[in-house]
């Protein structure tokens, strides 16, 4: 069986990344996990994302693993020349600057297409073409704009989802599109200018709710207040005080759940003989299930539900995933090492190829740690490198 490290379909592809925070770095990360060489270009002193605290402290190490770091002072002639040679040697450019900033940096896609016809540019932006194109955006901004926050929180309390899902998913669309453009380039020899929009990504995430309105003419309620399509699809508390989600979404699951919970009388109730009967009766059957589940301990229920094929889950916290056997299985939590030797475990790609997980232990680059190796290979000497990288003495 092929070893997972042999699955590197993008080996030999060079990616240059000018980006920060999550959206652009995710695009580079996903390409790197498929074997591409990803060179992160940082300003002298490093990407400011490195210095974030609190919730932002995890951004840089999570989404910049496995990359090379080069510091370039793009305001100097030497820096501009270094970027020119670097792009001439590259296959893909990732950027997430505002459109208005690109001409000053010489990175506007139309200019790059002329100068480097084989280069594929991936521009990670807030919006695609349209009246909002030049507006600033963040993940939370577009969640509010598209109704995703409205659907997530309870009525009257819009709430962003508990992840930077648009940034991460947008980065995935960037990588997906870049791989497709590489395939096309094999036939044409020409690159493409790709633009990914956070707003449009969030629209895709709420598509099912938009289409529900389109088809039925009724606006869907926020998820905490939604109209249910299943008889049981709720969070309950067990006898030992743990929370458990339980679903019964088929006729068979309804019957099995009633028998496990010793509620056979529900099976014989004339008011509960069809799926719609069971759904419409949720207002009085849910309290029955609540009391029944509260009489059993979590571990016993978990074992019975697993044997019977009942969908269930503990209500867990992200930190608990480090102890979860499925999360730990088969290299699912690769180790990444900082320049100072500190190590962290980060979830890997949710992909298996030939029964092996994709990805590996990816380290976190120090600021400018690859200046010498990258710039020397491009033909620059030490004096030039000091000027180009902002390390003047």
By residue range, what is the domain housing residue 201?
4-206+363-388
φ and ψ at residue 42, rounded to 5 degrees:
-115, 155
CA-closest candidate to residue 23, choices 132, 124, 160: 124
Q: What pLDDT score was predicted for residue 1? A: 40
Indicate whether 138 and 232 sit together in one domain. no
- Same domain? 189 vs 244: no
For residue 4, the model assigns a pLDDT of: 44
Domain boundary among 318, 349, 372: 318
Are residues 16 and 71 both part of a single domain? yes
In-domain check, residue 131: yes
Cα–Cα distance, 174 to 94 (Å, whole number)? 9
Give domain status of residue 93, yes or no. Answer: yes
pLDDT of 3: 47
If asked whether residues 87 and 187 sit together in one domain, one would say yes
pLDDT at residue 392, rounded to an integer? 60
CB-based contacts of 328, cutoff 8 Å, min separation 6: 322
Domain CATH number, residue 45: 3.40.50.10540
- 28: tokens are 């580079």
Give the per-residue pLDDT at 229: 84
The pTM assigned to this predicted structure is 0.92
Q: Say yes or no: 117 and 246 in one domain.
A: no
Helix (H, G, I), strand (E, B) or coil at 67: coil
In a domain, residue 26? The reply is: yes
pLDDT of residue 21: 95
For 288, the token pair is 């029955």
pLDDT at 2: 44
Q: What is the mean pLDDT of each run of 10 residues along the chain (393 residues)?
A: 67 96 97 96 94 95 96 93 96 93 87 95 96 94 97 94 96 98 98 97 97 95 87 96 96 96 95 93 96 97 97 96 91 90 92 84 92 94 90 60
- At residue 226, the pLDDT reads 83
Kindly report the CATH number assigned to the domain that includes residue 280.
3.30.1540.10
Rounded-to-integer distance, Cα 278 and Cα 267, Å? 10
323 is a domain residue = no
The single residue listed with the structure tokens 């020397």 is 376
Residues 185 and 242 in one domain: no
For residues 259 and 110, membership in a common domain is answered with no
Residues 186 and 238 in one domain: no
- Least Cα distance to 201 among 176, 184, 227, 182 occurs for 176
Pairing assessment for the beta strands 312-314 and 232-237 based on DSSP bridges:
unpaired
Catalytic residue, candidates 167, 240, 251, 277:
167
Chain position carrying tokens 């707003």 = 199
167 included as an active-site residue: yes
CA distance 47 to 41: 9
Element of type H or E holding 125: strand 120-125
CA distance 378 to 6: 28
In the chain, how many domains are there? 2
């Amino acid at each position: 069986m092929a070893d997972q490290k042999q699955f590197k379909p993008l080996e030999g592809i060079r990616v240059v990344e000018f980006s920060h925070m999550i959206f652009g770095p995710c695009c580079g990360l996903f390409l790197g996990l498929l074997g591409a060489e990803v060179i992160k270009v940082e300003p002298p002193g490093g990407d400011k994302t490195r210095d974030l605290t609190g919730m932002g402290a995890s951004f840089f190490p999570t989404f910049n693993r496995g990359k090379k770091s080069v510091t370039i002072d793009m305001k100097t002639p030497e820096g501009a020349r270094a970027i020119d040679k670097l792009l001439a040697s590259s296959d893909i450019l990732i950027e997430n600057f505002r459109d208005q900033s690109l001409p000053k940096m010489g990175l506007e896609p139309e200019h790059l297409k002329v100068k480097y016809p084989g280069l594929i540019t991936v521009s990670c932006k807030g919006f695609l073409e349209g009246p909002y194109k030049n507006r600033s955006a963040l993940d939370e901004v577009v969640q509010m704009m598209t109704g995703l926050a409205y659907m997530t929180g309870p009525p009257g309390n819009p709430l962003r989802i508990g992840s930077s899902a648009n940034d991460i998913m947008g980065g995935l669309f960037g990588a997906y599109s870049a791989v497709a453009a590489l395939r096309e380039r094999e036939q044409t020899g020409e690159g493409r200018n790709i633009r990914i929009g956070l707003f449009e990504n969030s629209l895709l995430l709420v598509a099912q709710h938009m289409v529900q309105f389109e088809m039925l003419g009724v606006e869907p309620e926020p998820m905490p207040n939604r109209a249910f399509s299943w008889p049981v699809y709720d969070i309950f508390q067990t006898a030992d005080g743990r929370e458990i989600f339980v679903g019964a979404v088929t006729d068979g699951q309804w019957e099995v759940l009633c028998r496990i919970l010793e509620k056979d009388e529900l099976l014989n109730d004339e008011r509960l003989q069809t799926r719609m009967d069971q759904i419409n009766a949720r207002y009085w059957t849910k309290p029955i299930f609540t009391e029944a589940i509260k009489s059993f301990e979590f571990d016993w229920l978990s074992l019975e539900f697993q044997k019977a094929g009942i969908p269930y889950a503990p209500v867990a916290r992200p930190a608990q995933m480090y102890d979860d056997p499925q999360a730990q299985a088969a290299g699912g939590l690769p180790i990444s090492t900082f320049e100072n030797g500190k190590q962290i475990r980060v979830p890997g790609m949710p992909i298996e190829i030939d029964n092996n997980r994709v990805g590996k232990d990816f380290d976190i680059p120090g600021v400018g740690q690859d200046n010498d190796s990258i710039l020397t290979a491009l033909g620059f000497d030490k004096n030039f490198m000091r000027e180009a990288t902002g390390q003047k003495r």
